[in-house]
Amino acid sequence: MLDSDTRLPDSDDSAPTHVGFLLIPDFALLPYASAIEPLRAANRLSGRALYRWSHVSIDGAAAPASNGVAIAADASVGAELRLDYLFVCAGGNPALFHHQPTFAWLRQLARRGVRIGGVSGGPYLLARANLLSGYRFTLHWEHAPAFLEEYPDLDLRRSLYEIDRDRLTCSGGTAPLDMLHGVIAREHGSELALAVSEWFLQTHVREGAGPQRMPLRERLGIAHAPLLRVIARMEQTIETPEPREELARLANVSLRQLERLFRQHLGRSLGEHYLALRLDRARDLLRQTSLSILETALACGFASASHFSRSYRERFGHPPRAERLQEARPARR
């Protein structure tokens, strides 16, 4: 994370920093807006053109966001642009994106010294382009399970944003507001960065290392601390589920009492909750990876593909194979 008290000298007051936004089809509109709007605000509040920006799409045509809004492109992948930064904005299912000219262009820009960023699902594409080896980075929590199956050796953090030398990554949502606060503070001082944050009604600028998701207490509406410890452990042990007796020891209660707590607070048994967590993870992997049905089953703690398929059908109303077929139909990339 950047030290916001450290300001970089302006290389040329007359030359605005040129920021590119590579918009991958089905990119998420909110994190894109959260990345570009601080630049506009910095210009407005400083009374100077500190930043300018360009939009890039795969083919030069308008890029559709996930909600159907299309952003006009100024250039296509491969264009000769003199950029200082390029942010890759992606949403939907970035694991399905395999456009080699895009990856080659990103590598070319990185070799030229352009600072490369990824927003929401964008870091997935940076990994595909071999631009994250040796860097710490983050991406949206929804994509993390599939990403780790494909890139287990990369330094993925579960943080809001990470700035590591010339790589800038953030988890999406409104996290780019926090990340750009750090960038603006470093380049033009904390006073301007704070003014930009206040413009967007940020009463608190979050640290990059902050968590992406709500605490379990708020997410589930549960205040029982021992039960929350157990649920947290369950979410961390999808591939190798903990024995029920070990979970009861973690909560310092009997197994019978733990089962009562699950019924009381979640309306289902411990086993039913664990199974739901594993099946939800399996659905994500089926949608976002090319793992086989058996590999997906094993990655989610099932001993056999038949047991997995049976459980999957009972929960979602269709077999795992149908999930993969449904996800493949709308793919345009």
Residue at token pair 């990856």: 103
CATH topology of domain 17-199: Rossmann fold (3.40.50)
How is the chain split into domains, by residue range? 17-199, 216-327
pLDDT, tens only, 19-69: 999 999 999 999 999 999 999 999 999 999 999 999 999 999 999 999 999
DSSP string, 273-309: HHHHHHHHHHHHHHHH----HHHHHHHTT-S-HHHHH
For residue 328, CA distances in Å to 63, 127, 142, 331 come to 20, 22, 18, 5
For domain 216-327, the question of CATH label 3.40.50.300 is answered with no
Q: In whole angstroms, give the CA distance from residue 272 to residue 154.
A: 33
pTM over 0.85: no
Q: What local confidence, expressed as pLDDT, does residue 159 receive?
A: 87
Q: Give the tens place of pLDDT for each residue, 246-274.
A: 999 999 999 999 999 989 998 989 999 99
d(C-alpha 185, C-alpha 217), whole Å? 34
- Residue 14's H or E segment, with its range, is none
Residue 50 pLDDT:
96
Residue 305 phi, psi (nearest 5): -70, -30
% pLDDT > 90, the chain? 52
Structure confidence by residue, pLDDT tens digits, 106-152: 999 999 999 999 999 999 999 999 999 999 999 988 888 888 888 99
pLDDT > 70: what percent of the chain?
Answer: 90
Q: Which is it for the CA torsion 281, 174, 31, 112, positive or negative?
A: negative
